[in-house]
């Protein structure tokens, strides 16, 4: 390249990156068009005159987001870096990130289907009121308390609806009943059937992912006991979404439990414009990986440690 060309590219780059002039100001100063200035800036990068380095404590998380998106075909991945390595700190960070995602992506007229979980509770707590949007927030799995542990489902749905100035539709029924005929009877109620039908046609879904352990929300809420845990593990279950269990490949399992569950069908999550799984910690990696393999989510909000293992186990280098 001629010295004059190098000199001009260097001058344009210096004025733009160091002196902070706009492209319009540089064009007027050097007698060039704005398009020519933009072209010179690109050439300065291509030829190594300008090198851009990003220095941020979140850079590694951003790289993990890109790798998760590529490995699992996600619309978006959000990887948080919690301030401490505790379950509460991870849940709070995940909830805050999920709240930010909703505030950024929710549009007028959206129907948002939401499950109950301790992580979604944090999302609801972190949501701030925004400009009113004509949304409907509908509960997508039953929630009636069966123990001293409260699902806080009504609070979660109501809080999210109020944040957007929308309408809340709750589903005050058990998530799991003893017999199929009880489920059939409950679904004969027009309000219950309408709520589940609305959840099925929602264009946005946000849900937690549970593992198959004594630490899961379903276990704490009394829907799963030690005997059922043993059955689930024997059947190869690794996780649940809305009380519907699946194996390591994301295939639904334990059909007799599934038939007694009042919740959205897993397959319907695949057709949502935005199907958002909010889950983290190393203990839930198997459950999250199963959900990804089952294509139940196209958006994942997770933490740095879980993201790193998910990328490794996806086969991505």
Task: Indicate whether 16 belongs to any domain.
Answer: yes
**Residue 13 within a domain:** yes
74 shares its domain with 30: no
Read off the pLDDT of each residue in 178-192 and give the average, rounded to a whole number: 96
Average pLDDT over residues 258-272: 97
In a domain, residue 181? The reply is yes
Do 23 and 154 belong to one domain? no
> What is the pLDDT at residue 136?
98
Q: Is the pLDDT of residue 148 over 80?
A: no
Confidence at residue 84, expressed as pLDDT on a 0 to 100 scale: 85
Quick one: pLDDT band at residue 51, thresholds 50, 70, 90?
Answer: confident
Mapping DSSP onto H, E and C, the string for the chain reads CCHHHHHHHHHHHHHHHHCCCCHHHHHHHHCCCHHHHHHHHHHHHHCCCCCCCCCCCCHHHHHHHHHHHHHHCCCEEEEECCCCCCHHHHHHHHHHHHHHHHHHHCCCCCEEEECCCHHHHHHHHHCCCCCCCCCEEEECECCCCCCCCCCCHHHHHHHHHHHCCCEEECCCCCCECCCHHHHHHHHCCHHHHHHHHHHHHCCEEEEECEECCCCCHHHHCCCCCHHHHHHHHHCCEEEEECCEEEECCCCECCHHHHCCECECCHHHHCCCCEEEEECCCHHHHHHHHHHHHCCCCCEEEEEHHHHHHHHHHHCCC
CATH number at residue 28: 1.10.10.60
Q: What is the pLDDT of residue 317?
A: 38
Q: Are residues 29 and 75 in the same domain?
A: no
Predicted confidence at residue 2, as pLDDT, reads 52
Q: What's the domain range around 34?
A: 3-46
Q: Do residue 230 and residue 288 come from a single domain?
A: yes
Domain of 154, CATH number, reads 3.40.50.1360
**Confidence at residue 1, expressed as pLDDT on a 0 to 100 scale:** 45
Query: Do residues 40 and 163 both lie within one domain?
Result: no
* Total domain count, the chain: 2
**Would you state the pLDDT for residue 27?**
94
Q: Are residues 203 and 243 in the same domain?
A: yes
Q: Are residues 255 and 292 in the same domain?
A: yes
Other CB atoms closer than 10 Å to residue 205's CB: what's the count?
Answer: 30
How high is the pLDDT of residue 3? 55
Domain identity same for 41 and 64: no
pTM more than 0.95: no
176 domain-assigned: yes
pLDDT at 70 over 80: yes
Regarding whether 214 and 95 lie in a shared domain, the answer is yes
Q: What is the pLDDT of residue 218?
A: 92
> Do residues 249 and 206 both lie within one domain?
yes
The alpha carbon dihedral of 246, 251, 253, 256 has a sign of: positive
Q: What is the pLDDT of residues 235-248, one digit of tens each?
A: 999 999 999 999 99
Domain annotation covers residue 54: no
Would you say residue 55 has pLDDT above 70? no
Q: Is residue 305 over pLDDT 70?
A: yes
* CA–CA dist 317, 312 (Å, integer): 7
Residues 96 and 177 occupy one common structural domain? yes
Do 136 and 16 share a structural domain? no
In the chain, what percentage of residues exceed pLDDT 90? 81
Give the mean pLDDT of 46-59. 71
Residue 60 pLDDT class (50, 70, 90 cuts): low
Give pLDDT, residue 153. 92
d(CA 75, CA 56): 23
Instruction: Write down the pLDDT at residue 206.
Output: 98
């Amino acid at each position: 390249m001629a010295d004059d060309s190098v000199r001009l590219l260097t001058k344009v780059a210096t004025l733009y990156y160091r002196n902070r002039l706009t492209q319009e100001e540089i064009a007027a100063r050097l007698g060039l068009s704005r398009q020519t200035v933009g072209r010179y800036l690109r050439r300065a990068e291509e030829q190594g005159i300008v090198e851009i380095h990003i220095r941020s404590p979140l850079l590694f998380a951003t790289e993990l987001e890109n790798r998760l998106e590529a490995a699992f075909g996600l619309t978006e991945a959000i990887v948080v870096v919690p301030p401490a390595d505790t379950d509460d700190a991870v849940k709070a960070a995940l909830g805050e990130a999920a709240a930010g995602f909703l505030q950024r992506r929710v549009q007028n007229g959206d129907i948002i289907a939401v499950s109950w979980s301790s992580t979604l509770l944090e999302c609801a707590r972190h949501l701030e009121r925004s400009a009113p949007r004509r949304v409907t927030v509908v509960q997508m799995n039953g929630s009636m308390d069966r123990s001293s542990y409260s699902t806080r489902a009504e609070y979660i749905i109501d809080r999210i609806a109020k944040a957007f100035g929308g309408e809340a539709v709750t589903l005050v029924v058990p998530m799991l009943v003893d017999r199929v005929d009880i489920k059939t009877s409950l679904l004969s109620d027009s309000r219950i059937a309408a709520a589940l039908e609305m959840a099925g046609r929602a264009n946005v879904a946000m849900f937690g992912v549970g593992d198959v352990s004594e630490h899961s929300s379903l276990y704490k809420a009394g829907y799963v006991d030690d005997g059922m845990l043993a059955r689930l593990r024997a059947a190869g279950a690794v996780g649940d979404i809305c009380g519907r269990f699946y194996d390591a490949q994301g295939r639904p399992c334990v059909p007799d439990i599934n038939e007694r569950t009042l919740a959205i069908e897993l397959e319907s999550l695949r057709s949502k414009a935005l199907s958002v799984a909010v889950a983290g910690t190393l203990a839930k990696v198997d459950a999250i990986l199963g959900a990804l393999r089952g294509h139940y989510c196209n958006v994942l909000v997770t933490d740095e440690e879980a993201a790193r293992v998910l990328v490794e186990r996806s086969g991505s280098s």
